């Protein structure tokens, strides 16, 4: 009987951790960093440094978006956990706005070991309010968004993922031209 109670308690905790606050009326953008491109409806503020506990960006300073902003939906539903689109090609100077649609909490993260050393400092500087190295904060509410600038980021391929749903295959690839 004690085993069943422990199993039930663990299940409740696991479900609570996967659930997110439902607030369809609120649209929040936790970016607070990059100047929005003309193609977005972002109303973000001036550049901010990474949150306390996040690694220093070295000599790089946050660079504002100078091109277009691509929107990527973060989805968790009966079809699975995914980014739409998952494969994105942008130019240096563009930005990507990640929007939590369903199944949160979600985030956008890069494996620091996979990011080239000469690109890591700039990418980190362009990611405000990090919860860990090269990891955005968790987006818990529907329509909550996080924007990353790829201004001054070296051309190349950058694999990204959602940390809470990595084991469920929520990942993608950004190609910077």
**Mind listing the pLDDT tens digit for each residue in 151-170?**
999 999 999 999 999 999 99
Direct distance between the N- and C-terminal alpha carbons of the chain, in angstroms, rounded to an integer:
59
Predicted local confidence at residue 70, as pLDDT:
98
Confidence of residue 2 (pLDDT cuts 50, 70, 90): very low
Tokens 């990059």 appear where?
A: 34
Q: Are 32 and 44 in contact (CB under 8 A)?
A: yes
Kindly tell me if the per-residue pLDDT of 41 is higher than 60: no
What whole-number distance in Å separates Cα of residue 99 and Cα of residue 113?
Answer: 25
Q: Do the strands 95-100 and 69-77 form a parallel or antiparallel pair, or are they unpaired?
A: parallel
Nearest to 92 by CA among 110, 68, 71, 112: 68
The helix (run of H) or strand (run of E) holding residue 54 is none
How many CB atoms within 10 Å of residue 44?
A: 21
Name the fold adopted by 2-176: Immunoglobulin-like (2.60.40)
Give the tens place of pLDDT for each residue, 78-94. 999 999 999 999 999 99
Phi-psi region of 103 (alpha: psi -120 to 50; beta: other; left: phi over 0): left
Q: Provide the mean pLDDT of the chain.
A: 79
Predicted local confidence at residue 58, as pLDDT:
55
Kindly tell me if the per-residue pLDDT of 134 is higher than 50: yes
Residue range 103-122: mean pLDDT, rounded: 97
């Amino acid at each position: 009987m004690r085993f069943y109670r422990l199993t039930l308690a663990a299940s409740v905790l696991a479900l609570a951790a996967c659930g997110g606050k439902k607030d369809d009326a609120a649209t929040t953008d936790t970016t607070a960093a990059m100047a929005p491109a003309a193609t977005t409806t972002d109303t973000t503020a001036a550049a901010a440094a990474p949150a306390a506990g996040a690694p220093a960006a070295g000599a790089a300073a946050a660079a504002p978006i100078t091109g277009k902003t691509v929107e990527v939906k973060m989805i968790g539903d009966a079809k699975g956990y995914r980014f739409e689109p998952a494969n994105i090609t942008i130019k240096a100077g563009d930005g990507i706005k990640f929007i939590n649609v369903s199944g949160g909490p979600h985030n956008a993260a890069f494996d620091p070991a996979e990011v080239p050393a000469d690109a890591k400092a700039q990418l980190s500087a362009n990611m405000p309010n990090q919860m860990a190295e090269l990891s955005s904060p968790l987006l818990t509410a529907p329509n909550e968004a996080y924007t990353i600038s790829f201004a001054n980021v070296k051309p190349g391929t950058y694999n990204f993922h959602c940390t809470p749903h990595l084991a469920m295959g929520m990942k993608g690839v950004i190609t910077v031209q």
